[in-house]
Amino acid sequence: MEQISSLTKQQSVKAVYNNLTTALDVDAAPINTAVVNNVKYRKAKAERQKNGINHCRTFGDEFQAVFSMVQSDKTSGNPLACCVIGTGDRMPSVILYTDSQRSTN
């Protein structure tokens, strides 16, 4: 299983399955690509939990993090994200600049 984990970082699931079925004995090789995919999924999930992220972030989660950054940066001395604009008919925009960039304009 550790061999599958290391190979899925470099190759696709199907390529890992094909390589292992030709390289290993019948008893040691994965039964199908689902085995390789499950190992890859469990490894990625363990890595996310180790980093403190228990779920996959969605676009909404990322956008909320940017909105939170704007609010927290306003209270700090050197804000980076100064404005986030999100409307229904356009892509969201984030305006990033520091106080030194603002004063040079």
* Residue 67 and residue 43 in one domain: no
* Residue 65 and residue 46 in one domain: no
* 13: number of Cβ within 10 Å: 20
**Residue 83, phi then psi, degrees to nearest 5:** -155, 140
Judge whether residue 105 has pLDDT over 60. Answer: no
Range of the domain at 75: 59-104
* Residue 96 and residue 76 in one domain: yes
At 51-94, the pLDDT tens digits run 877 666 787 787 787 777 777 766 666 666 667 777 777 777 77
* Residue 44 and residue 65 in one domain: no
* Residue 68 and residue 90 in one domain: yes
CB-neighbour burial class of residue 30 (10 A; exposed 0-12, middle 13-18, buried 19+): buried
At 2-17, the pLDDT tens digits run 788 888 888 999 999 9
* Residue 68 and residue 99 in one domain: yes
Residue ranges of the alpha helices (H) in 1-105?
A: 2-8, 13-23, 33-50, 59-75, 99-104
User: Could you give the number of structural domains in the chain?
Assistant: 2
Please say which residue of 50, 67, 84 terminates a domain: 50
- Determine the 3-state secondary structure of 41 from DSSP: helix
* Residue 43 and residue 7 in one domain: yes
